[in-house]
Amino acid sequence: MDHSNYTVEPMISAKSIAARCEALAAEISDYFHDTDKLIVVGLLRGSFVFIADLARELSLPCEVDFLETSSYGNNTESSREVRILKDLRGEIEGRDVLVIEDIVDTGHTLHHVKALLQSRNPARLKVCALLDKPSRREVDISADWTGFEIPDEFVVGYGIDYAQRNRNLDHIGKVVFK
């Protein structure tokens, strides 16, 4: 694949993301204040940077686990077929669970993941998404906490990729094809 056919224009700065992570963590810590240990479930791979920053800001005990799904491959459009590539290591029955998602787009992945995790009987199941694109929603679902609502743009950075590139950017950028 030719990666010289696009540029990345800054959209959300690293400073804005850091401030939003701090605010989200405060709200989440307040909501789960009575938990003995929160299980933070990161949806790989796009959420890995967000989950690291958010988890460090939480003021309560937490355990981190990961679930890897695939619905994009190397494309810019979701296939709407959600596959579980890596399941959780730990049990969540009777536990408080916070799912961390990089971006809620069509909603298919989050809908599938929530149904899967809900079937395992957690005490509480909530979702925090870094980005939300409500204009693209095809499934009636939303995150309980959202970092930023964005327009229908293809974005990269801060863990989010295009064909496995640009995850290492410290900000969110809009992909502009030449």
What percent of the chain is modeled with pLDDT above 70?
93
Q: With a cut of 50, which residues of the chain have pLDDT below it?
A: 1, 76
Residue 2, Cβ density class (10 Å: 0-12 exposed, 13-18 middle, ≥19 buried): exposed
165 assigned to some structural domain: no
What does the pLDDT read at residue 2?
55
Q: What pLDDT is stored for residue 1 in this prediction?
A: 47
Tell me if 159 is assigned to some domain.
no
C-alpha 11/C-alpha 67 separation (Å) is 27
- Would residue 7 count as lying in a domain? no
The parent domain of residue 75 ranges over 14-151
Q: What is the pLDDT of residue 32?
A: 98
Number of other CB atoms surrounding residue 26 within 10 Å: 13
Total count of domains within the chain: 1
Instruction: Write the CA distances from 94 to 12, 43, 45, 176, integer angstroms.
Output: 37, 20, 26, 45
Query: Is 96 one of the catalytic residues?
Result: no
pTM of the predicted model as reported, rounded to 2 decimal places = 0.91
Does the residue 163 lie in any domain? Answer: no
Question: Which residue in the list 102, 105, 144, 170 is annotated as catalytic?
Answer: 105
Predicted local distance difference test score (pLDDT) of residue 72: 53
